[in-house]
Structure 1
Amino acid sequence: MSALPSLRLLGALLLTPLPLALLRAQTAPPAAPDTATTVAPAATPAPATGLDCHHPFGLSDNNERVYRLTSADGKPAGELRMRVVSLSAEMNKKKTVETHKVLLKSGLYDSKSRLLNMQDLTISCRQDTSFVDGMSEFKPESIRSFRDRKFEYAPVALAWPHQPKIGSLLPAGGSQVAVSSSVVDIAKVSSMVRKRKVVGGPAPVQTPAGTFSCYKVESEHEDATQARKDIVLRTTYKVVDYYSPTMGIVKTEVYDKKGKLSQTRTLAVVNSGQGQ
């Protein structure tokens, strides 16, 4: 199975398998993260900064977050680095709803700090929900076999409510790409997140970047390539996200078809930048 998407951002930004002004590549391989997961009842969560739709997931100008990727046996597998490029806001036509947006540059690096993929992602917020760009789920390797073709991207943003309810189902989202030539449609390639369910929390989750009060969200991920109407190649696997409404996703666990942990992404560094 391929590496985690660049997005589901953020996180916490979400969460692939996640185009942008290049992030600085580090010269040394990422250090191995603390792989001990998740809920630590005795720990004290980092103080909440409050939900601010002007700064989704606490992101401000020049803010940078680094996620460390580890394999099933805890070995370093790379890093996902995200830096805020710009902040903006827009009103709907009736001037009743304001949407705030954060443009990010997201870079995926291997364990030797070599750049694997770079792309632009958008995190937005309106009213009581933040939205992570569906392209955070895009896996570049899924279209590498299609050379000299046209690509039409149709991402579906992933909604993250600020006040999740245990047992609630969240809307599906992800990336969809239509591949074509100048005369004919060739294939449809997608990386979608479905069956998103809030199964626990809030509870403290420890990461190298701090301890955060998180909700546990389980989902089903499907990577699919449809070359013909009657032929679809699918890969389905389970993902568990630990979601903080004030920080986004701070930890992600990916499981294989047999239910075994195959990869982990953990928030390791939060650089506030000059905007804070």
Structure 2
Amino acid sequence: MKTLAFALLAICMTISRSQSQDCMGITFKAGMNFEMSTFSGKDKPTGKIIYQVKDVHKEGSSTIMDIVAQFQDEKGNQRPSYPIHYTCTGDELVADLSGMAQGMQSSMKDMEMKLKTNKLVYPGKLSVGQKLSDGQMDADMLSNGNTMMTMSMTMSNRQVEGQQSVTTPAGTFDTYKVTSDMNFENRMMGIPIRGTMRVVSYRANNQLLDIKSETYNKNGKLMGYTLLSKVN
């Protein structure tokens, strides 16, 4: 009986370790939910994105988080969910951007996606004036082994410009203002479609997701923004 009790205790401890981890001052636990509300540039609600932490585990010294994201428009219509993969090394938080590409793939059911580059890195601690490394995602869309389209997105000129208190429905946060240029290029049958946007994000050192993120067009006009509206 005593041996059985110790065995059950060991199993419970293993499950607990696999579902909850601390890294860079953030507690990650399977079952956690985050909600981001999205708005147009004119403050009109356009929907929300719900993130659910499905699994948290250790791989060596790193903490791995598997998250599922799902977009819901202002009418409650849901799009297919897509996975996001985060790695916390203790010094850096690495976001796997393949989820974005997989979300795009849902409208291209007859094509196969081949990802090449797909990460965005955040340092463990932000400071004003700090320059951040570029983020990038590159993917090929294949049909019967032939490349039909290539997708490329780069987050460049990333810099911490200041500190600011930001209040959302989820609370008030001390954040760092991070600016970056988002450049994308899609090529279909050799024909390029290019675009440039300015992204301004407000991040807190102890939070996984942006507290607020604003997107501007090349002329400086606000196109839309997101707010962290719920943390569970």
TM-score by length of 1: 0.70
Which of 64, 84, 107 is the matching residue for 1:101? 64
TM-superposition CA deviations, 1:134-154 (whole Å, max 9, x none): 23544845884x562221123
Higher-Rg structure is: 2
1:83 lines up with 2:43 in the alignment? no
Which of 22, 27, 46 is the matching residue for 1:58? 27
Indicate the residue corresponding to 2:113 in structure 1: 151
Cα distance in 2 for residues equivalent to 1:82 and 1:155: 23
Structure 1 pair 236/117, CA: closer, same or farther in 2 (3 Å)?
Answer: farther
1:217 lines up with 2:178 in the alignment? yes
Cα distance in 2 for residues equivalent to 1:182 and 1:139: 18
Structure 1 pair 187/60, CA: closer, same or farther in 2 (3 Å)?
Answer: same
1:135 lines up with 2:78 in the alignment? no
Share of identical aligned residues, percent? 24
Indicate the residue corresponding to 1:234 in structure 2: 194
Structure 1 pair 107/147, CA: closer, same or farther in 2 (3 Å)?
Answer: closer
User: Contact between 1:56 and 1:123, CA under 8 Å: does it hold in 2?
Assistant: no
User: Contact between 1:163 and 1:245, CA under 8 Å: does it hold in 2?
Assistant: yes
Indicate the residue corresponding to 1:4 in structure 2: none
Q: How far did 1:59 drift?
A: 2.8
**Counterpart residue type for residue 69 of structure 2:** S
Structure 1 pair 139/69, CA: closer, same or farther in 2 (3 Å)?
Answer: farther
Structure 2 unmatched runs, 5+:
1-20
User: Contact between 2:53 and 2:67, CA under 8 Å: does it hold in 1?
Assistant: yes
Which of 214, 218, 221 is the matching residue for 1:257? 218
Structure 1 pair 214/137, CA: closer, same or farther in 2 (3 Å)?
Answer: farther
Structure 1 unmatched runs, 5+:
1-50, 92-97, 272-276
Q: How far did 1:72 drift?
A: 1.1
Indicate the residue corresponding to 1:30 in structure 2: none
Q: How far did 1:191 drift?
A: 2.8
Alpha-carbon RMSD: 2.3
**Counterpart residue type for residue 64 of structure 1:** N
User: Contact between 2:105 and 2:113, CA under 8 Å: does it hold in 1?
Assistant: no
Greater helix content: 2
User: Contact between 1:68 and 1:80, CA under 8 Å: does it hold in 2?
Assistant: yes
1:68 lines up with 2:37 in the alignment? yes
Which of 58, 65, 87 is the matching residue for 1:124? 87
User: When the two structures are aligned, how many residues end up with a matched partner?
Assistant: 211
Indicate the residue corresponding to 2:207 in structure 1: 247
Cα distance in 2 for residues equivalent to 1:138 and 1:194: 19
Structure 1 pair 264/211, CA: closer, same or farther in 2 (3 Å)?
Answer: same
Q: How far did 1:125 drift?
A: 0.6
Secondary structure of 2:74's counterpart equals coil
Indicate the residue corresponding to 2:10 in structure 1: none
Structure 1 pair 174/118, CA: closer, same or farther in 2 (3 Å)?
Answer: farther
Indicate the residue corresponding to 1:192 in structure 2: 154
